[in-house]
Amino acid sequence: MAEQVSWVPEGVDTGKPSAARLYDYLLGGGHNFAADRALAEKFLEAQPHARTVARLNRAFLRRAVLFMMDNGIRQFLDLGSGIPTVGNVHEIARKADPSARVVYVDFEEVAVAHSQLILEGDPLAAIVQEDMTRPGVVLEAVRATGLLDFTRPVGVLTVGVFHFVPDEADPASIVAAYRDAVPDGSYLAFSQFTHDLRPEEMAGVVEVMKKSQNPVHPRTKSEVENLFDGFELVEPGVVPSPLWRPEGTNTDDPDKAAIYAAVGRKG
């Protein structure tokens, strides 16, 4: 039977698991349902350190935003932003500059509804409900918010989402469309699942996620590098997420990351 919860938007089928809610569960969030938790347990069977993977990916997001802030970025476009948990982009950025602007983009109803609650009354941040794989539609909606100035550099974030984009959707053309929409001096932060690090575990994850609304498509290091066409990769390039500009003493096992991470600069 579908769960009835006050923050669930009308029409959401809580019996169908989603990747956004699974990720929320792995991060310790409370915006997930029984179907999501059941899928997450199967996910954990395939990848026992999945909570570590989620934590490391979230930590990369924080470091990438702060890196961009250090390099003059004050406006961000977060594609496939998911369900808000502690350490959102606007929270990270505003600690460095209270005037930072953020537009989030997601199509998952619970992610959008919860984002709207969090951002209510915030004049410098907004959520757009669109599919990031349709850049033209997304960019039109983002421009309509009036929050981002596309004549000035933008920090584009695609963190932990492109492994849900199949090859037949032409991920390179999607990235290119966002690249072409922003001026020189803009940055792209990118992370996604790979089968390079623990191939047997990743094969299990792929199999588990076939039963969800969001099948997974891992990519090799060279495939990820190719998505940065038109960007100059900043050091250290495409690496397991905990190895991308770690802070302090890094004791995380990069093989357990399961995710490649990188940041590139346009122009």
* C-alpha–C-alpha distance, residues 59 and 239, integer Å: 14
> Residue 251 has what pLDDT?
65
> Residue 36 has what pLDDT?
87
Domain topology for 54-195+216-266: Rossmann fold (3.40.50)
Nearest-Å Rg of the Cα atoms of the chain is: 17
> Residue 86 has what pLDDT?
66
For the chain, what is the mean pLDDT? 91
Residue ranges per structural domain of the chain: 54-195+216-266
> Residue 2 has what pLDDT?
45
Beta-bridged to residue 104, according to DSSP, are 78, 127
Its pTM stands at 0.91
Averaged pLDDT in 10-residue chunks for the chain of 267 residues: 54 77 83 88 90 92 97 98 82 94 92 86 96 98 98 98 96 98 98 95 93 90 98 98 87 82 97
- Distance set, CA 97 to CA 68, 70, 127, 263 (Å): 12, 10, 20, 21
